[in-house]
Structures are given as C-alpha cells and as structure tokens.
Amino acid sequence: MRKAGFVILMLLMSGCASRGGIRPLKAQELAISPYQEVLSSRLTGSLMYERGCLLFREDETKARYLPIWPEGSIFNGTSVIYHQPAKSEQRIVVGEEVQFEGRVADWATLSNYYAPFSHQCGGRALFVSRVRPAD
C-alpha cells in the first residue's frame, strides 16, 4: 500500500515538470545573431545585469531593451566585448553610458531561439549594429 502511494505521488509530480521549449538562461548568456547593418534606432542609456539578463535601459523614456549582439560578442559578467565585423572589438562595461544604434524588433517576429530571452528578460528586442560611448 505504501509503495502504491509513493508511485502515485511520483506520477503526479512528474506531471508538474516542464518539458516545453522554454529553458532558463545560462549564466552570462547573450542573445546573438548574425551582424545586421540596419540602423533604424539610436538610443542612449546604460547596460544593467538583472535576473540573469543583460538589459539596456534607455535614459529618456526609461524603457528596457534586450540587446541582441552580433555573433562573436562575449559577456563576462561585468562587461561585453562587442564584436563588429572588420572593426576592433570594443569593451562596454555594465553601467557605462553608451549610445546604441540598431533595429528594434517585436519578439513575435523572431525565431524560437529568442523565446528564453523574451520570457525571462522581457523588454523589447534591440539588434545592435553599433555601440559608442555617449558623450
């Protein structure tokens, strides 16, 4: 009788486990994509790292964006090494005032690769094409 109760309990608990395509982000994971030269937005603000997400907070509206970095960019927990093809890699420190140029996108138009970032991080997606210090 005891074994039957244990088996039923285990079956009920297994039904609670998530088997969907959504997974928690790995530590220091960046959303990346092939480099995009599209420059439809220019935003000034700073990077922040919260809840395992590297976000960009725009100064004027206080809106939050999730930067989607070009492939080859790396995040080490305190700074991003930004990779722009045919240019020197640039280091951007969390909290540093920067200007981003790129394209803002809706999550619904992006592939399922970005679903964990959308669910965990929120904000709007921002494909980063250029970064420079805000002076």
Provide the 3-class DSSP secondary structure of residue 68.
strand
Q: Which residue has the tokens 């995009």?
A: 36
In the predicted model, what is the mean pLDDT of residues 83-105?
93
pLDDT at 29 over 60: yes
Q: DSSP string of 73-133? A: -EE-SSEEEE--TTS--EEEETT-EEEEEEEEE-GGGS-GGGHHHHHHH-SEEEEEEEEEE
Please give the model's pTM, rounded to 2 decimal places: 0.78
In the predicted model, what is the mean pLDDT of residues 24-48?
89
pLDDT of residue 22: 58
In the predicted model, what is the mean pLDDT of residues 27-50?
91
pLDDT at 16 over 80: no
pLDDT of residue 6: 46
- Per the structure block, which two tokens stand in for 21? 């395509």
pLDDT of residue 35: 94
Provide long-range contacts, Cβ within 8 A and 24+ apart, for 87-92.
Answer: 90/131, 92/47, 92/131
